[in-house]
A and B are shown apart, each in its own frame.
Chain A
Amino acid sequence: MSDLSVANNTATKAFDVEAIRRDFPILAQEINGKPLVYLDNGASAQKPLAVLDAMDRYYREMHSNVHRGAHTLGDRATAAFEGAREVVRDFLNAPSTKEIIWTRGTTEAINLVANGLAPRLKAGDEILVSHMEHHANIVPWQMLAERTGAKVVPVQVTPEGELDLDSFNSLLTERTRILAVTHVSNVLGTVNPIAPLIEQAKKLGVITLIDGAQAVPHFKPDVQALGCDFYVFSSHKLFGPTGIGVLYGRAQLLEEMPPYQGGGEMIERVSFERTTWNVLPYKFEAGTPAIAEAVGLAAAINYLDGLDRKAMEAAENTLLVRANELIETVPGMEVIGTARHKVPVMSFKIAGLHPSDIGTLLDQQGIAIRTGHHCAMPLMNFYGVPGTARASFAFYNTLEEVEKLFTGLQKIQRLFT
């Protein structure tokens, strides 16, 4: 994310949001008789034509199973599939495609790592997470703790929605074995300062996993610069298809980890006496993979690479700035998560209204947001709310749409008073 200083005129002009919107056919429709305003990108983002076309073309022209090598279609499918892995490697700036494992999504990637690290843990060890994690970055560690006798310890969050660094410093100890934190909070939009946290953890020999699910739609991570051991994300939030995600892992750790699931693809040799594992990354990819989805994800990344990244980040920030300006036009509206460094995500409550009331009545106006606990119940408890309403913006959203959200909220308020 860039700060406002890069939102200069050249950058804004270079980013033609109307042209971009034409790349996303789903956006051009009416919901309940009103033009769709899609502000639920944090839950799942929409797909550009480039992704739809790539998947369609894959099935029309090259589908076959991969890594079999007996015929031409198989070669084409394999080339497309492994080509996609290379696109993801480049996206994360990972050293090698051996370190890019396809999973079903962020959730499966974290479960895979938690399972693989089990042999390293013993009773009394600690797994450091944070209070702002998605359940997917809490529950797999709790299950691991259950198995090993280790303990899951949460780093506190400040009222503004930033990681409490004092809490982090006091909880990162010689007992800590794993640090699993989110790059960007799905509820608050906070961008966590993960690089220094990883650096501190590494000094103590702590294994680090970063949940990048909410980060990658907004900026490109560099796993080598970050120095993390694992980085995970889902395709569907990155404008790619559902059903596929990515685990980046340092080769040395992946080599040492046991396989996650057994089956085809992941083996080298099978006999009833002794079965041996395939090499990386295939050791962790049992069964026929999501081939078309990998192709679709690569198309999404290539599409994003074709955009002016700086201008895109500046445009997103302009949306957030405008939303912040408009808060005061809705009496009783309170934003949850006011961190200094945020992606364009706005969680809020309105006095006297349940989040589901807000969601229902915005939907009547064609505006899609998320309401509920956002799979982050510990964070909801911290703020003492049953849930929040959340508007999460993408680069294809317009200032006009931000304004429609607030006009919509004003209408709702009039209805209740």
Chain B
Amino acid sequence: MTVSKQQFLDNPLGQKTTLEDVLDAFEFLDDWEERYAFIIDLGKQLPEFPDDERTEENYVHGCQSQVWVIHHYDEGSGKLFLLIDSDAIIVRGLAAIILVALNGKSPRDLLATDIDELFEQLDLFRHISPTRGNGLRAMVGKIRDIAAAETAA
């Protein structure tokens, strides 16, 4: 089984589910339980990840959980599409937020997006700060490397 272009295009995160949706929803969540319940739910929107793409090449090092990232660059629209997988539920939710912000953008727009600022806005900065060993930063780093490679190509 190899991943099809359609699987990337069907990823709702960053497309049907927009950053605005997430920011709006977050405004109404006031305690940690509601916020994390929302994050967990958002993680459920991650499309199924193809088994044969769980390879060393796609693996994100530096995470406590296992994380994989794959991409598809759509020549026609000039947009970069991403899929992420993780075995930790919270990390899946946080990955979904990252995709909401970065998926389906042009590599140039992706590189111009300030993820730190977004996480700060959502009061989730501790998850992405350099002191945190859970590898979200490594995940974002990998995505930015992919985008940088596409702009250079």
Interface, chain A (partner B; CB < 8 A): 32, 353-357, 360-361, 364-365, 371-372, 386-387, 411, 415-416
Residues of B within 8 A of A355 (CB): 64
Contact B64 A357, beta carbon cutoff 8 Å:
no
Residues of B within 8 A of A372 (CB): 64
Contact B90 A357, beta carbon cutoff 8 Å:
yes
Q: How far is it, in angstroms, between the C-alpha of A357 and the C-alpha of B91 when the chains are bound?
A: 8
Interface-centre pick from B33, B36, B64, B87 (highest chain A CB count, 10 A): B64
For the complex formed, measure the closest distance between the CB of B124 and the CB atoms of chain A, giving whole angstroms.
10
Q: How far is it, in angstroms, between the C-alpha of A198 and the C-alpha of B15 when the chains are bound?
A: 65
> Is B89 at the interface (CB under 8 A from chain A)?
yes
> Is B28 at the interface (CB under 8 A from chain A)?
no
> Is B7 at the interface (CB under 8 A from chain A)?
no
Residues of B within 8 A of A387 (CB): 64
Q: How far is it, in angstroms, between the C-alpha of A377 and the C-alpha of B89 when the chains are bound?
A: 22
3 nearest CB pairs, A to B: A354-B88, A364-B32, A356-B64
Residues of B within 8 A of A386 (CB): 65-66, 87
Contact A371 B33, beta carbon cutoff 8 Å:
no
Overall SS of chain B's interface: helix
- Which chain B residues in 122-137 approach chain A with CB under 8 Å? 127, 134
Contact A354 B33, beta carbon cutoff 8 Å:
no
> Is B118 at the interface (CB under 8 A from chain A)?
no
- Cβ contact of A416, chosen from B64, B66, B89, cutoff 8 A: B89
> Is B23 at the interface (CB under 8 A from chain A)?
no
Q: How far is it, in angstroms, between the C-alpha of A354 and the C-alpha of B88 when the chains are bound?
A: 5
Given contacts A356-B64, A357-B91, A386-B87, 9 further A-B contacts (CB under 8 A): A354-B64, A354-B65, A354-B89, A356-B88, A357-B89, A357-B90, A360-B127, A386-B66, A415-B40
Chain A, residue nearest B35 (CB): A364
